[in-house]
Structures are given as C-alpha cells and as structure tokens.
Amino acid sequence: MAEGGVDRCMTETDNVSTHSSLNSRHSRDDIEGVSVQVCHIMTLLGYGEEIRRRRVELYRKSDMFVNAGFLPGTFITAGSKAEGLTCWNESDSDRLILLNGVLCVEAGINLQTIPDDIQVYRMDTRVYPGHCRMLRERCGSHTSNLRLEHALCDDGKGNALLSSGLWLDDIEQILNRLVLKSGPPFKRMGPSIPCTNLGINYDLVFAIRCHCPSILQRWAQRSRLWPPPEVVHKVVSLGSVVTPVGFNGSEYKYLEWRICFNMGETEIVTNLNMVQAKLYVILKMIVKEVLKPSNKEITSYVLKNIILWQAERNPSEMFQERNLIHWLHDALRTLRTAISSTQLPYYMIPERNLMAACGLQEVQQRKWVADITDMIGEGPRVVMRLPKIRQAVIGHPEPLLWFSRKRMEIELLMFELSSRFMRCSYENCESKITMVEIMRHIDEIFSEFSIRMIMEGGTVYDVKDSYSRYMFMLRVLM
C-alpha cells in the first residue's frame, strides 16, 4: 500500500511542512496542531470512533449467537477486540469461557441465596492481593462442573482445595484429545491456551464466576472524576471471575487463582472518549515498536491500567484532540516511573502491584527508562517513531483516505458474514443467499483494491477464495 497523508485536503507543500514540524521544537499552538493531525491519522488507520463502536456492537452480537448453542459455559469476547480497538486480525483474540454451574464467593455470602444445583467455592484471600485460594463449600448437581473433581486436593486440614494448575492441566489434555491428528497441540501460556482457527489466533481463558461484592464496592466508593456513576454501577453489576493462575512469585501459585474483572473493564474502556482510546492504542504502539519487550515484562494490560488511572484522576473534558501529545507524555512519564520503581497499582484492586514479579532485569530497566526519557524530550516528534503514523505523515492523503474507507467496508462485511454464518450454525437459517452476496461484494472490493494497489506501485498476489482475499487486504492495510 502506498504511504498515506495527514489530512484529506492537505497539499504536497502542507505535507512537507507537517513533516518538518515534527522534527523541531514548537510553540503550544504547533504541538496542539500536531495533536489534532495525529488524531485524524489514527481515525484513518482504523481507530476512529465509528468503527470502534461498530466493532464493540458486532462482537457482542457474535457472543450472543455463540452462547445460543454453547452449553458447557458462557463465551465472552474480552480484551482489545471487545473494546473495539483492534482490527479483525490485528492481534490475538481473547476469549473467556465461564464454566456453568459453579460459583466462587467471598467470605460472608449466605449460601442459601444461591441455587442448590450450583457448586460453590469459598474464597480464601490470605495470599497475594488480587488472588485467592478456593475451598469447596458445596458440591451442587450441575453436570458441567464434573471436570473440577479432577482438580481437587486436600489442604491438609480436611478441606477440598481447587487447584488452578491441575484444572488447567486437565483442560489442556481435553483440548489436545479433541484436535488429535488435526492440528498442532495446545500449549498453555499463563492462564490462557492459544489456538488458531481460520487464520485467526485465539487465546482461550477458562474461568469461574466470582461473587465478591466487598471488593467491587471498595472500587466503586473511592473518590474519582471518571467514569460517571451510571458506568460505575454497571461495572459493579457485571461482577468478576477467577482465572486459573496464581501470583508468579508464590511458592503455591498452582493452588491460587487470580481475581479478574474482564466484563467490567471492557465496559470501562468502551466509555473512554475518542482521544483516550487513541492514546491507549498509541501507547501500545510505542511499547511494541520502540521498547520491544521480549518476555512480556510490559504488557498491554499494564498500559491499559495507566490509561484508566489517568482517566479517573482528570476531568474528561481535558482529553481533547489538541491535548493528545500532552497526555501521551503524561502516560509515558507514568510508564517510566512504573518501570524504574517496578510499581503500578492494579486499577480495580490497588493493593495488587502489576509490576511485581514481571521479570524485568536491571539492565533492561535502565535502558527503557533512558528510552522513555528520550521520547518525552522529543516532544511531538515521538509519534514519528511509529511506522504507521510516520508513513501516513510523509505520504499522500488521498490514497490513505481511500484505503481507510475500504478497510472499514471490508471489516464490517466480514463481521456480517461471520454473524450470519453463526446464526445458520445454531438456527434453521435461510440467509445463505445473503452470505453468497456478501462474498460476492468482498470479491468486487478485492478487484477494485487490486487495481488501486497496482496504481500505487504495490504487488497483488493471486488468492482464490473470498476469505483469503479479505485477509490479504487487511494485512496490506495494517
């Protein structure tokens, strides 16, 4: 794909001026102007408000169709996909599978308020903050919880303790038997089990619902400027889950579980405004393209928490397009402090340190602190370190705008195709003709896309089917 431009009406002279402006020190007006231009570029690159909202809506519908025929558990899209902040194949898709018929509760919950067929575990939080052990309180009769029996062990006091390590071992073995001779074996990474389907990489996380109102109330009642009360109330209503992973520095981590708020955090992130959402994406680009962690010493989850703390502590009206660079520098300073001190409180449970036992070495620590200091000193030019933004700034605006429209068009078509395919899988669906029409439309876009690629000096490979053509177009557009 040819390199894109900053603004749809920018002339060649304007391009040179903008490129120059990012290479020198500027007045406040200049920095604000660059901030606005970068926000516009981010929209063209697929991170605008419209496509973000559409992705959120479509993934929610997708989950609804899957759960209509998925009996062992509840299927929930999580992470950046659920937040609408990544394209279809831009990153791995996080999928949460909540086991039906089992519940984890904190101390003080009356078990008589829980249906008799639900298997209940009591949380023991006398471990590292944000984690717990799970003691069985009641067996229940729900059929889908039988696999948990294989993960029970004695705590030495006659209590049945649910082992996160044993349960995940069992799940991994089951999945590998299901794909025997049909693909590579599953191999878990932390609480997730990576897999691939139709060219899309998934991270499956099996989890158990958790009822911990006191933890959520502590989060809800703290003083804040954001999110608004109605969002806070909804986050509390969405509850939490426990995932099968202990604190990395614990001697007994295979007996421990992590307390998570995936659904609530998705709700919080989708309520970030346009500038905050783009800021989060740019911060992830910087870590990926500049710092380049090799062993997840800095994760996207750390960056998400930086953005959420920033949003909570500052009035929403301050996050305007003209202030993007200012808030980017503010986030980078927080990241630098987190790296140098190896301290960053978890947004939902501040007592949990997200940088604890992250594996950060002293040499790497010093280098990243120096790198971030250099980036802050560069002012608005820091965005020129990012290939996508740099290409857009030094290129031509019209091709970028055209490719941006095509990206959104084919992504929405693919969502619609996927949605209709799932409906036909679970229902007596009569929309196959519509699916054929969608694929025909994708083929038409590919033909138009190919002509434009050749005109811009690119290369088009011979791909046969609609799905492969779609994936090729997205790879080029990424």
Q: How far is CA 97 from CA 101, 141, 203, 254, 255, in A?
A: 13, 20, 11, 20, 20
- Residue 423's pLDDT is 66
Mean of pLDDT over the chain: 84
Q: How large is the average pLDDT for residues 151-159?
A: 90
Contacts of 204 (CB under 8 A, 6+ apart): 95, 97, 192, 193, 194, 195
Among 6-15, 266-275, 385-394, the minimum mean pLDDT is found in 6-15
- Residue 469's pLDDT is 53
Query: Which of 361, 386, 411 delimits the end of a domain?
Result: 386
Longest pairwise C-alpha distance within the chain: 78
- Residue 4's pLDDT is 34
- Residue 91's pLDDT is 78
Query: Which of 322, 351, 386 delimits the end of a domain?
Result: 386
pLDDT at 22 over 50: no
For residues 323 and 217, give the distance between their C-alpha atoms in angstroms, rounded to a whole number.
Answer: 33
pLDDT at 232 over 80: yes
* Residues in a beta bridge with 414: none
| pLDDT band at residue 8 under the 50/70/90 scheme | very low
- Residue 108 structural domain: 52-260
| Predicted structure pTM score | 0.86
Q: How far is CA 174 from CA 28, 168, 245, in A?
A: 59, 10, 18
Residue 245, domain CATH: 3.30.460.90
Residue 32, domain CATH: 1.10.1410.40
Within this chain, do residues 90 and 222 fall inside the same structural domain, yes or no? yes
Q: How large is the average pLDDT for residues 332-345?
A: 98
Residues 244 and 164: beta-carbon distance below 8 Å: yes
What are the two backbone dihedrals, phi and then psi, of residue 147, each rounded to the nearest 5 degrees? Answer: -65, -20
Within this chain, do residues 315 and 242 fall inside the same structural domain, yes or no? no
The per-residue pLDDT for range 114-141, each reduced to its tens digit, is 999 999 999 999 999 999 999 999 987 7
For residues 55 and 61, give the distance between their C-alpha atoms in angstroms, rounded to a whole number.
Answer: 10
Query: Which of 386, 405, 433 delimits the end of a domain?
Result: 386
Within this chain, do residues 228 and 374 fall inside the same structural domain, yes or no? no
Within this chain, do residues 99 and 221 fall inside the same structural domain, yes or no? yes
Within this chain, do residues 76 and 167 fall inside the same structural domain, yes or no? yes
For residues 343 and 355, give the distance between their C-alpha atoms in angstroms, rounded to a whole number.
Answer: 5
Within this chain, do residues 71 and 163 fall inside the same structural domain, yes or no? yes
Higher pLDDT, 475 or 403: 403
For residues 417 and 421, give the distance between their C-alpha atoms in angstroms, rounded to a whole number.
Answer: 6
For residues 26 and 334, give the distance between their C-alpha atoms in angstroms, rounded to a whole number.
Answer: 23
Within this chain, do residues 143 and 217 fall inside the same structural domain, yes or no? yes
Q: How large is the average pLDDT for residues 277-301?
A: 96
Within this chain, do residues 428 and 471 fall inside the same structural domain, yes or no? yes
Within this chain, do residues 433 and 335 fall inside the same structural domain, yes or no? no
The per-residue pLDDT for range 426-448, each reduced to its tens digit, is 555 555 667 777 777 777 777 77
- Residue 441's pLDDT is 76
Helix, strand or coil, per DSSP, at residue 199: coil
Question: Does residue 1 lie in a domain region?
Answer: no
What are the two backbone dihedrals, phi and then psi, of residue 28, each rounded to the nearest 5 degrees? Answer: -60, -40
| pLDDT band at residue 222 under the 50/70/90 scheme | very high
For residues 42 and 60, give the distance between their C-alpha atoms in angstroms, rounded to a whole number.
Answer: 24
Helix, strand or coil, per DSSP, at residue 331: helix
- Residue 26's pLDDT is 58
Where residue 92 falls (left for φ over 0; alpha for ψ -120 to 50; beta otherwise) is beta
Question: Does residue 422 lie in a domain region?
Answer: yes
Among 152-166, 217-231, 235-249, 412-426, the minimum mean pLDDT is found in 412-426
- Residue 3's pLDDT is 33
Question: Does residue 2 lie in a domain region?
Answer: no
Within this chain, do residues 98 and 77 fall inside the same structural domain, yes or no? yes
pLDDT at 467 over 60: no
Q: How large is the average pLDDT for residues 65-91?
A: 85
Domain count, the chain: 3
- Residue 416's pLDDT is 76
pLDDT at 395 over 90: no
- Residue 427's pLDDT is 58
Question: Does residue 36 lie in a domain region?
Answer: yes
Within this chain, do residues 120 and 205 fall inside the same structural domain, yes or no? yes
Q: How far is CA 109 from CA 114, 122, 141, in A?
A: 9, 9, 20
Question: Does residue 423 lie in a domain region?
Answer: yes
Within this chain, do residues 182 and 167 fall inside the same structural domain, yes or no? yes
Helix, strand or coil, per DSSP, at residue 117: coil
The per-residue pLDDT for range 249-286, each reduced to its tens digit, is 899 999 999 999 999 999 999 999 999 999 999 999 99
Question: Does residue 368 lie in a domain region?
Answer: yes
| pLDDT band at residue 160 under the 50/70/90 scheme | very high
What are the two backbone dihedrals, phi and then psi, of residue 197, each rounded to the nearest 5 degrees? Answer: -145, 125
| Count of other CB atoms within 10 angstroms of residue 288 | 14
Question: Does residue 412 lie in a domain region?
Answer: yes
pLDDT at 27 over 90: no
Question: Does residue 292 lie in a domain region?
Answer: yes
For residues 354 and 372, give the distance between their C-alpha atoms in angstroms, rounded to a whole number.
Answer: 19
